[in-house]
Structures are given as structure tokens and as C-alpha cells.
Structure 1
Amino acid sequence: MPDQLDANRTVLVVEDDPVIRLNIADYLRTCGFRVVEASSAAEAIQIMQSDEAQVELVFSEVQLPGDIDGLGLSHWLRLNKPGFPLIFTSAYAVAIEAEAVINERRPFIAKPYDDQQVVHRIRSVLKVL
């Protein structure tokens, strides 16, 4: 169900699994969000450095391929865009990872997640802004 408040809000979905990324991106679009997609943290950083993207929130997998994972992306955001909202997700919420996410002080949604839960969390984070 689209929300008029979401129509101009852009979410960057960072997920290396193309099926999962496509599913949540399509659902977010159905709910009225503009969505930009990235398959790695490095790609997400390139998007964030672009003035064209106008991203307002990042929804990112913790475990990503390449030299930078989701925690590295969070660190980059903290240094380059302080206070920028990021919501983590992962199917591998082992104790060490969970502690790292908590230390980053970022919201976390465990996989498999309900798409409506993701939208609710995104809306609640964006309302604060």
C-alpha cells in the first residue's frame, strides 16, 4: 500500500543476492519508495558519493563480498555522512556479528524478514528525520 509520504523518499538497498535484492526493492517500490540498488558496499559508496542519488536511508546486508562489508559501509557513512540512517539485515546473526551491529548502533532486521516489517522500520526511521 503506497504512502504519499514515501513517494519522494529514496532507499538504497545493498544486497549481494540478486533475488533477495530484487524482491525487497520491488516491494519498496510498490509501497511508494524510490529505490536504488547495489550489490556490494563499494558500489553503495559510489552511489552515496553521487549527488544524483539523493539517498535518504541505506538498507544493507551485513555480509557483503569484496574488501568492504556492511560494517565497513557503516563506518564509511559514520565518517563521511554522520548521522546517516542505515538499517542492517543478515541471515547470519551470530553473536560476534550481532555485537558488531550493536556497537555500530544500527537497527537490525534478521533474515528471513517480512517485507512489511522492513517497510515499517524504514518508515519509523525516516519519520525521525
Structure 2
Amino acid sequence: MNEIRSAPALDDAVLLVDGDIVSRHAIAGYLRHCGYRVVEAFDTNEAMKALGYPSLVIDVIVCDVGAGGDMSGFELACWVRRHRPGIEVRLAASPQGAARTAAGLCEVGPHLHRPYEPQSVADEIRSLRAARDRA
């Protein structure tokens, strides 16, 4: 794993949706170390449940395109864009997965390439916050 670049507590909340428990825990731990609040979801059903809690504010969703559940990660991203437009979404996909959904990715924004390093996820979230702060 890359050297951890420490950051001040950012207080942004990240919903991390990934069925791979090892990958999810590694990324969640790294993001927590960087100062983010992290909510973990195994699949899109758990993600939708988390999004339904009125007291839970989510700023960014990082979701595997192939996440299990009643909808795919791509469908979750589309739902969030329509119903919760204040939440930034970053999909994670293998190059093959990204190719299969390339047309739709334009609707939901940039994506992360799998396998990804925790540092790349933190860097992407940091850049989202910087863009939001500039706006």
C-alpha cells in the first residue's frame, strides 16, 4: 500500500459499496485514517437502506459497477443522480466492466479503475471536495 498522506478531518461521509469484503475494509480503513466518515455496504440493497436514513448525510458514494443487490452499481448511480443530486458518485469498474457500461457512464460521471488502491480512492474524493469548494 502507498504511503498514507494525512489530511485534516474532512468530515465528509463516504458510502462505500463493494461486495469484496477484503477490498471494502482496506479502503474503508484507509479513508477513515484520512479523516472521512465511512459507511460500508455489501450490496446496493444495503446502500439504499443507508440512503434512506434521514439523519445520515452522505457526500460521496464509491460503488462497484458489479455490486450485487436488486440493482447494479450503475443503476444505483443513476438513481442517485435522479433522486439525490447533491451526492457525488464514483463507480469502480474493471476495464471490461467499464467498456460494457461506457455509454451510461457519461450520465453518472467519471469512474475508478479496478483493482484500485485506497490512495486513488482518497485522491478522487479529495479532488471532488476541492471542486465543490471552488464552486
The structural deviation recorded for 1:82 is: 1.9
The structural deviation recorded for 1:45 is: 1.3
3-state DSSP of counterpart to 1:66: coil
Deviations 1:46-75 (A, max 9, x none): 111212221111011000112201111112
Q: Pick from 58, 62, 72: which aligns with 1:59?
A: 62
Q: Pick from 17, 39, 43: which aligns with 2:46?
A: 43
Q: How high is the sequence identity, in percent, across the aligned residues? A: 31
- Aligned length in residues: 127
Matched with 1:107 is 110
Q: Does 1:69 align with 2:78?
A: no
In the aligned structure 1, how far is the partner of 2:80 from the partner of 2:30? 25
The structural deviation recorded for 1:19 is: 0.8
3-state DSSP of counterpart to 2:105: helix
The structural deviation recorded for 1:26 is: 0.5
Matched with 2:17 is 14
Q: Which consecutive segments of 4 or more residues in structure 1 shift more than 6 A?
A: none
Matched with 1:84 is 87
Matched with 1:4 is 8
The structural deviation recorded for 1:5 is: 4.8
Paired residues of 2:60 and 2:88 also in contact (CA < 8 A):
yes
Q: Does 1:96 align with 2:100?
A: yes
3-state DSSP of counterpart to 1:2: coil
My pick for the range that moved more, 49-58 or 19-28, is: 49-58
Deviations 1:15-68 (A, max 9, x none): 011111111000101111110000111211111121222111101100011220
Paired residues of 1:10 and 1:34 also in contact (CA < 8 A):
yes
The CA RMSD measured in Å over matched residues stands at 1.6
The alignment's TM-score, normalised by the length of structure 2, stands at 0.85
Q: Does 1:24 align with 2:27?
A: yes
Any gaps of 5 or more consecutive residues in structure 1? none
Q: Does 1:33 align with 2:36?
A: yes
Paired residues of 1:36 and 1:53 also in contact (CA < 8 A):
no
Paired residues of 2:81 and 2:108 also in contact (CA < 8 A):
no
